[in-house]
Amino acid sequence: MKKILFLIIISALFSCEKLTKSASDLITKNDESKTFGRYHTIKQENIKVYLPEEFEFITLKDYKNLVNNSNDTLFKKREIERLDILEKSNQNIYFFEHIESGSILNILPTKYVLFNKQDATYMLSIVNSITKQNSPEGTNLENIAAEFKKSNNKQIFKAIYKFRIPGHEIDYYKYVYFISHNRKSALLNLETPILTNFDEYIFKMKL
């Protein structure tokens, strides 16, 4: 039952392409793992997410506008379908945008799932499969990190992917986190052209 739940949750979050613009600014501002940011409160979920200062909350309508402005018609079709499914299922999803780098963070609060290192191995196989399936044809995709961590009674799954979409001249990165704490769980998906240390922000997230 837990494996089925993992599959449903992870499938719901993934899009098939990245809404990435040109990048010139780093999300983190130094190389010393120090985090500079601020908390955003998602009142409906009683969750506080700690993000770099430049991240701003955007509404579902704003995100749909970003999707509709994409030049990829297949991406637009699939992403709108995914969002419609989430809306019809009454599943809330929250978006934060880092405009300067063109990074998008999605947060999907889910049913509480207590998981361990063995479960994280299964989660990685799901994420690997879905990421490959949803990548545009010809994408050079590489899983560059995968971890199971515990921090302040939080269970944290992390996977990072590096990829280059055909027709683009820079590498992009997908960060996937699944967090359980305080009888709450959340799935986070960061899509960015920046390879950065995002773990310290995740550790400060309050569920």
Containing 148, the helix (H) or strand (E) segment is: strand 140-151
- Report whether 173 contacts 194 (CB < 8 A): yes
- Report whether 177 contacts 158 (CB < 8 A): yes
In the structure, what pLDDT confidence band is assigned to residue 18 with cuts at 50, 70 and 90? very low
Looking at the domain assignment, is residue 145 inside a domain?
A: yes
For the chain, the distance separating the N- and C-terminal CA atoms, rounded to the nearest angstrom, is 23
Looking at the domain assignment, is residue 34 inside a domain?
A: no
pLDDT in tens, 1-12: 565 555 555 655
pLDDT in tens, 95-145: 999 988 888 899 999 989 999 999 999 999 999 988 888 777 778 889 999
Residue 176 is predicted with a pLDDT of 95
pLDDT in tens, 55-92: 999 998 888 888 888 776 767 777 787 778 777 778 89
Distance CA 30, CA 199 (A): 14
User: What percent of the chain clears pLDDT 90, i.e. is strictly above it?
Assistant: 44
Looking at the domain assignment, is residue 75 inside a domain?
A: yes
Q: What is the number of structural domains in the chain?
A: 1
Looking at the domain assignment, is residue 19 inside a domain?
A: no
Domain that holds residue 143: 2-13+41-203
Residue 6 is predicted with a pLDDT of 59
Looking at the domain assignment, is residue 139 inside a domain?
A: yes
Containing 126, the helix (H) or strand (E) segment is: helix 117-134
* pLDDT of 23 over the 50 cut: no
Looking at the domain assignment, is residue 32 inside a domain?
A: no
Q: What are phi and psi of 174, to 5 degrees?
A: -115, 125
For the chain, the average pLDDT equals 82
Looking at the domain assignment, is residue 46 inside a domain?
A: yes
pTM of the model: 0.83
94: domain CATH number is 3.40.1000
Measured at the CA of 186, the angle between CA 181 and CA 187, to 5 degrees, comes to 135
- In 19-115, DSSP assigns E strands to 37-42, 47-52, 56-58, 94-98, 103-110
Residue 53 is predicted with a pLDDT of 92
In the structure, what pLDDT confidence band is assigned to residue 19 with cuts at 50, 70 and 90? very low
Looking at the domain assignment, is residue 143 inside a domain?
A: yes
Identify the weakest region by mean pLDDT among 24-28, 148-152, 164-168, 192-196: 24-28
